[in-house]
Structure 1
Amino acid sequence: MTQSPGILITIVAFALVIGPLIFLHEMGHYLAGRLFGVKIDAFSIGFGNEVFGFTDKRGTRWKFSWLPLGGYVKFAGDMNAASVPDHDWLMLPPEERARTLQGRPVWQRMIVVAAGPIANFVVAIVLLTGFIIGYGDFMAPPVAGTVVAGSPAAVAGIQPDDRITAFDGRAITTFSELAALTQPNPGKAVTLTVEHEGVSRTVTVKLDVQTVTTKSGKTLRLGLLGLQRRPVSLIEAPFVGVRRTFELTGMMAKGLGQIIVGQRSVKELGGPLKIAQVSGQQLALGWDSLIWLVAMISINLGFINLLPVPILDGGHLFFYAIEAIRRRPVPPQVQEWAFRGGLAAILALMVMTTFNDLDSFGLWKNLAGLIG
């Protein structure tokens, strides 16, 4: 059951999710730039006019801007926050030109640009590793680690190392899928397909009922099977975290591909309002749920920023790859028009996702009802 948090919790949760992820993404760019001796003019959380900030001893302006839906690092030699090269950077004195981003070798520029998305993936790996240590591997195959004595699973003869391959005829591949099908069916008799040493059998199990009281005081009745996942050791957990991060990135890539070819609806795309709503819901459920959401959004940010769209990090990497092959930069006029097109595409995507968000909140139906 989804809880409806108040507006204050929603705003706080949104800030807790988006703010740190933007900061760490831009910090990846910043640290990589510093590593290669690039002068950094500004580090901003948010876009638009500055609300407040300060200038450090290296001349970098650290600032918070009024639209907190992104951020940027502006390197010396950049025309704007999108890191479009300034046409006049070649006119700078040799010492200053060497400290611009464009004055660095192309491989160094690629590392600086890629460092932002990489930071997002590293954050996700760390969070998922901690989550796996605390709660188990959510994407592990549905293989029984422990069978609780006297539970429906034990009564049905399910043993450790047995694998559940189907729930009421529906194929399952992860423990989280098994839990998602079990919990909504308290007290119900269900059919499981169980595989033991390569031999499959079908068993009927009547799920137990577990009563849970949420933090908001609501009482929930959840189905309980009585299986526990195999524990993940401290040594193994980081490797599992890396593997799960790559798997989730692959799932996002597959989902985007399905939307592009029309196999899935564009209405599945959510924007800032949806992120804020879900953030509030997860914070209301507990910090563990919010941390899980932060890991998912961090992977999403890393993946989206690597798409070869001008204005995104992937667009810069695309131009740098062309430069490495041609051994000369893409003409500035071409880059400028490409970045304008990329900006238009991103703005159009933001409008569409916001429209989707408002539709999911029922705004358009309510307006139609008032008009009708």
Structure 2
Amino acid sequence: MTDFLTGLVSTDGFVLGTLVPFLFVLLVVVFIHELGHYLVGRWCGIGAKVFSVGFGPEILGFTDRRGTRWRLSAIPLGGYVKFVGDMNVASAPDPEADAALTPAERDVAFHRKSVARRAATVFAGPAANFLLAVVLFATIFAVFGRGVADPVVSEVRAGGVAEEAGLRPGDVFVSVDGRPVAQFSDIQRYVAVRAGQPIELVMRRGDALVDFTLVPERLEIEDRFGNKIEQGVIGVVNNRDSGGHRVQKYGIVESVGMAVAETWYIVERTGGYIGGVITGRENADQIGGPIRVAQVSGQVATLGFVALLNLAAILSVSIGLLNLLPVPVLDGGHLLFYLFEALRGRPMSEQAQEVGYRIGMMLILGLMVFATWNDITMLFDRS
């Protein structure tokens, strides 16, 4: 019994080691997403009935002077803002409820606002996620610094494509496909998503520049926690002895610029992965759900608070991008409906919207089941 309790509440146990980091990361990201909806909705003159972090029964909450109920709910896997006039948390209109609205409520009802105001309110959620990521990355770069390494080859792995192409230890990356390489991570990131695609390298060898063409191979990489991921590699290593490893801090302006670039990189890589899954170029086993997020949160928490902030930024971008998918029920689906409304000059029929919401709900539920299955499979593979 003592061993069980120790494993539950110790710093590397379930509660403090996994659950607390998971809730910290997820609830911060969800709160900022919903806060984006809420604040822009207020700016657009839309009233809010409920602001909830989590779903299901309310654990605690309060009602502010504007009549909005702020809630912390029992299931911490998302959240929502229910605006005046909404039938449900998906912001679907309810004709019967609309008829029952008071004149004051009709003035602030979501569905009675212009397409532009509704679209701005919906887009504000994902936008807030991207903004949160920029703020977190900029804070990390300015306050804590960023680990960097010179773009030098310390070691060439035997049998790798780099050895076959003729790269040698001491070679310095100058550019890849015409893009300048400033740090070793630049080449790692570029190669990781281009398995099977020819790339052009310019290397500095002594005083000369040498051109190489090679094709990254796809390999399964295992991180320090035993998590496995497939990515492109060329078989070169940068080590601490000759790689110029250091922690570099940046000014505020430079940190913000780097944070924007880092956020965009995650958008590109996530979007590229989703596109690869759709076209069959990528395996879908990397799609994870709450179990994997919880596990990764616990693992990253062992590396320190900065690593957890970095994970929160990455997850914030991913959630923002996911919500922009053109699937009814998600923010992107609402924006798609508003685009049709703007082009047609009138909303889509209630029947068409209802069908769209049902299809969207089935797609989301299917994705959740698939992601959870991947999570469970991963746990069994590691056991």
Q: Is the 8 A contact 1:163 1:195 kept in 2?
A: no
Deviation at 1:266, TM superposition (A): 1.3
Q: 1:333 to 1:228 in 2, by over 3 A?
A: same
* Aligned CA distance change for structure 1 residues 317 and 157 (closer, same or farther; 3 Å): closer
TM-superposed CA distance for 1:196, in Å, is: 7.2
In the alignment, the residues of structure 2 paired with residue 157 and residue 254 of structure 1 have an alpha-carbon distance, to the nearest angstrom, of 32
When residues 39 and 10 of structure 1 are mapped into structure 2, their CA distance, relative to the original with a 3 A threshold, is same
Contact 1:164 1:195 in 2 (8 A): no
C-alpha displacement of 1:132: 2.3
Alpha-carbon distance between aligned partners in 1 of 2:60 and 2:339, rounded to the nearest angstrom: 37
Cα distance per residue 1:321-361 (max 9 Å; x no partner): 11111110111111112111111111111111111011111
TM-score normalised according to structure 1 size: 0.76
Q: Are residues 1:40 and 2:48 paired? A: yes
Q: Is the 8 A contact 2:288 2:371 kept in 1?
A: yes
CA distance in 2, matches of 1:197, 1:312: 55
Does the alignment pair 1:227 with 2:244? yes
Unaligned runs of 5+ in 2: 1-10, 153-168, 190-201, 213-223, 225-238
SS at match of 2:326: coil
Partner of 1:106: 115
User: Could you give the per-residue CA deviations for residues 40-88 of structure 1, whole angstroms, max 9, x where no partner exists?
Assistant: 1101111122222221121111112221100000000100011111123
Contact persistence 2:151–2:243 (CA under 8 A): no
The aligned runs of 1:1-372 (5 Å cut-off) are 5-8=12-15, 9-88=17-96, 90-91=98-99, 92-134=101-143, 136=145, 143=151, 163=173, 175-176=184-185, 194=204, 199-200=209-210, 223-228=240-245, 232-362=250-380
The Cα shift of 1:260 comes to: 1.0
Deviation of the 1:280 alpha carbon: 0.4
2:273 match: secondary structure: helix
Kept after mapping to 2: 8 A contact 1:259/1:266? yes
C-alpha contact 1:117 1:302 (8 A) present in aligned 2: yes
- 1:94, distance to aligned residue in structure 2 (A): 4.2
| Alpha-carbon RMSD | 3.0
Secondary structure of 1:362's partner? helix
Task: Report the TM-score, using the length of structure 2 for normalisation.
Answer: 0.74
What code does the residue aligned with 2:106 have? R
Look up the equivalent residue of 2:60 and give its one-letter code: F
What letter matches 1:133 in structure 2?
A
1: CA distance between counterparts of 2:126 and 2:84?
Answer: 21
Q: Distance in 1 between matches of 2:304 and 2:339?
A: 44
Q: In 2, distance between residues paired with 1:354 and 1:174? A: 36
On the 8 A contact 2:141/2:250 being kept in 1, the answer is: yes
| Structure 1 unmatched ranges of 5 or more | 145-155, 167-171, 181-191, 203-213, 215-221, 367-372
> 1:47·1:71 contact (CA, 8 Å) conserved in 2?
yes
> How much has 1:178 moved relative to structure 2?
6.9
Query: Could you tell me which residue of structure 1 aligns to residue 219 of structure 2?
Result: none
CA distance, structure 2, for counterparts of residue 135 and residue 198 of structure 1:
37
Distance 1:131 1:319, change over 3 A: same
CA distance in 2, matches of 1:142, 1:322: 50
Distance 1:323 1:142 in 2: 52
- The whole-number CA distance in structure 1 between the counterparts of 2:337 and 2:206 is 53
Identity between Structure 1 and Structure 2 (%): 39
